[in-house]
Structure 1
Amino acid sequence: MKEDFSAQPWDERDPSPWLALYLDQSTPLPDAVKAAWLRDCSSGSRQYLLPFLRPLARTSIILIQVLKVFLPRRWAHSRLLHRLLAFSMNTFVSPEANWLIMRHFHLGSQVLSFVAANAPTPVQTTPLEPTSVDDIKDELFLKHDLNLFNFVIRLNKALRAAGEELRPVPEPDFSMVREPELKLEDMPRGRLNRLDLQSAIEIYTPVYQLLLTDNDFWRASNSLQLDETVAIYCAKILASPEHLVMLNNKHPLVPLSTLRAGHRLVLHGLSTEMLHCLLMRMGSGQIPLPARELARMRQAAEMADSACAPTAGA
C-alpha cells in the first residue's frame, strides 16, 4: 500500500475503501495516525492471519482460565511477561503497530493529566512516556492499567472530600496535550516485523492472562470499559457531551467477558487517539470551546438581567 493515501488512483467503478476512510473527516484523527492505522488494517497479516488467530486466542483464554483453577492464586510472572512482549514487539510487530502502541501510553497519560489540571481539586497523576520499545520491560502495560484505576479513585476521593464535581471550564488548561516525541521511522524494521496490531493483541491477550494473576487480568480487561468514564470527565470540563459518540467499550458498571478483550483493546486505542486529537484541536483553536461559549452566554444573560432590573427608588 502506498504511503500517501491521497495519491491513490480513484476508480469510480472500483473505489478503494482505504482511500474513502482516509479522506473521511467525520471523526477526529491526525492524518499521519490515520495513515498508519489504515496501512496496518490493510496489511496481509491482518487479512490472512487474524481470522485464524482470533478463534485460537479465544479458545486459549478459556483453557487458561481452567488451568488457573489449579495454579496458586498469586502465581504470576509480570517481569517475564513484559520481557516477552518487548522481544516480540522488537522482532515481529510492524512499525505502524509498534508506533500506535507506544503512542497510546503517552496519549493516555496526557488525557488523565488534562482532567487532573482542570479538576476543581488537586489530583496526582503518574505519566508513562516510554521512548523505545525496550521501555516496555519496566512492566509498562501493568502500570498503565494500575494508573487508570488509581487516577479514578484519587480524583473521586478528592471531589467527594471537597464536596465538588467536575464542571465546565471556560478556559481549560491544554498545556499537557501535545504530539508525543515518537517517530514512526524509529520503530524496529527487521525482516520479520510484519505482524499487524490486531493480530499482535490477539496473541498477547492469552499470554497476558497466563503470566498475570486472575485479579490483574480481570482488572486489565475491565479497564477498557473506563473509556466512557474518562470521556465523560473530559465532556464535563469541555461542556461537550456530543463527543462521546465514538465510544464502544461501555458500560463500566457491567463487566464484559474477557473473550473479546483483544478486540475491545483495539477500540480502546482508537478512542484514545480520537479524544487526544479532539483535545489538540480545541487547544489550538481549530474547534471552538463549548465551555467558553457557554460562559459567554451566561455572562451576557446576567448583564441583560442587570440592565433590565429596576433601579433603587424607581
Structure 2
Amino acid sequence: MSNKEQSAFIRAIGSDNSLPIEKAAVDLWVKDLDNPFRWTLRPILQFLFAILLHLTWFFKRLPLPQFSGHSLLQKMICWFCKNLVSPEANLLILRHFSTESNVINFLAENSGKEVVVDLYPKCVDDMIRDTFVKHDQELFDAFYHLGDAKDAQKIARTKLKWKHWQKIDMKAFELDRKLTQVIDFETAHALFMCLFCFLLKRDEYRDAINGFNLDQSIAIRIGRIIGKPEIVEMAYNKYPHYLVGPWNLSQRFLMHGFFTEYLYAELESIRNDAMSTSNED
C-alpha cells in the first residue's frame, strides 16, 4: 500500500521518530496493521481464544498432576509460523528474540555480571529447539544473577561494554514465503497463548506471563547505566511483585515487544555514537 492509500494516522506513526525504534521495525508493524485479517479475523479469534485460555488456566490451576510438552509446543508454534503466520509477523518475532537478548546482555555486562543470553534465531527453524521456553527462563535466570540494582551505575558512553551485543541485520533473516502465510502478529499470538498455557506447567506459564513486568526493572537499571532514568516511561508492563493472570495478555505481550524494540534502538544509537567518537579520536 502506498503512503497516499494509508490513513492519516498510519502515515503519521510511520514517519514519527519521537520514540526510539528502528525504521525496519516500524515498517513491519505498519504493514502488519494493514493486514485485513487483523481487522476481521483477529477480534473473533481473540474473543474465542480468550475464553478458552481462561478455561485452560483454571484447569491447570486445579490440584492435579502437572504435565508439560515443551518439544510439542515448539514444533506446533514453528509449524504455524512457517505455514500460517505472515512474513511481517515472523520477522517481528525473530527480531524480538534479538532485541531482548541484546538488552539483557548489555545490562549484565555493564553491571559486572557474567550472564550471557544467546538467543538470536535467524529463521523459523532456529526456534524449533527450546527457544520459546528458554526465552523466559534465561530472562529470569539473568535477573536472579544480576543482584543488587545499586550495581547499575552510570558509565561514560565511551566506556560502555558491547562484547555480546549483536546488531540486527534484516538481511540475515531467512524466510520461505508461502501463499498461506496470511495471519497477522496479534492473531498469531491469540493462537499461541492457549498452547502455551496447556503445554507448560502451571507455574511455568504463570511465570512467563508475569515476566513482562520485569520491563520496568530492566528500564530502571539500564536508565541508571546510560544516565537516562526517563526511559522507564517506555515500560508499559510494571510492578513485578504483583502477579497477574491471563487477562489482557495480548496487549501486555505486544507492549513488551515494543519495549524491547525501543530499548534496543536507544542502545544501538548510543553504541553507534560511541563508535563514531572513537573513530574520530
- Would you call these one fold, judging by a TM-score over 0.5? yes
Q: Please point out which of 88, 94, 99 is paired with 2:91.
A: 99
Scaled by the length of structure 2, the TM-score of the pair is 0.91
> How far does the alpha carbon of each residue in 1:206-265 deviate from its partner, in whole angstroms, 9 at most, with x for none?
111011110110010011111111111110101101122222111212122212222211
> Which 10-residue stretch deviates more, 139-148 or 258-267?
258-267
Instruction: Tell me how far apart the structure 1 counterparts of residues 56 and 251 of structure 2 sit (CA, whole Å).
Output: 18
Per-residue CA deviations over 1:148-205 (Å, capped at 9, x if unaligned) read: 110000111xx49xxx621101131235434324438732310110111011011110
State the partner residue of 1:305: none
SS of 1:26's partner is: coil
Report if the CA contact (8 A) 1:73-1:214 is conserved.
no
Contact 1:91–1:192 (CA<8 Å) still a contact in 2? yes
- Distance in 2, matches of 1:275 and 1:231, equals 8
**Residue aligned with 1:285, SS:** helix
Q: Partners of 2:172 and 2:191 in 1: how far apart?
A: 23
| Contact in 2 for aligned 1:85/1:204 (Cα 8 Å) | yes
1:224 and 2:212 equivalent?
yes
Out of 15-24 and 213-222, give the one that drifted further. 15-24
Work out which of the two has the higher radius of gyration on C-alpha atoms and give 1 or 2.
1
- 2:132 counterpart (137, 141, 154): 141
Question: 1:177·1:276 contact (CA, 8 Å) conserved in 2?
Answer: no
| Residue type at the aligned position of 1:46 | R
Residue 244 (structure 2) pairs with residue 252 (structure 1): no
Look up the match of 2:51: 59
CA distance in 1, matches of 2:7, 2:121: 39
Query: Is the alpha carbon distance of 1:215 and 1:43 closer, same or farther for their aligned partners in structure 2, counting shifts above 3 Å?
Result: same
Q: Indicate conservation of the 8 Å contact 1:118/1:173, yes or no.
A: yes
Please tell me whether the aligned partners of residues 96 and 184 of structure 1 are also in contact (alpha carbons under 8 angstroms). Answer: no
Q: Which has the higher helix share?
A: 2
Please provide the CA RMSD for this pair: 2.3
List runs of 5+ in structure 1 lacking aligned partners. Answer: 3-7, 290-314
> Distance in 2 between the 1:194 and 1:251 partners?
36
- Contact 2:84–2:181 (CA under 8 A) maintained in structure 1: yes
Work out the CA distance in 2 between the residues paired with 1:73 and 1:281. 49
Q: For the residues of structure 1 that align with 2:80 and 2:261, how far apart are their CA atoms?
A: 23
For structure 1, which segment, 222-231 or 169-178, has the greater mean C-alpha deviation from structure 2 after superposition? 169-178
TM-score (norm 1): 0.81
Report the counterpart of residue 81 of structure 1 in structure 2: 73
Flag structure 2 segments of 5+ consecutive residues without an equivalent. none
Residue 135 of structure 2 corresponds to residue 168 of structure 1: no
Alpha-carbon distance in structure 2 between the residues aligned to 1:277 and 1:226: 19
Distance 2:24 2:170 in 1: 12
Superposition deviation, residue 31 in structure 1:
1.1
Q: Secondary structure at the match of 1:25?
A: coil
Q: CA deviation at 1:55?
A: 1.2
More RCO (CA 8 Å, sep 6+) = 2
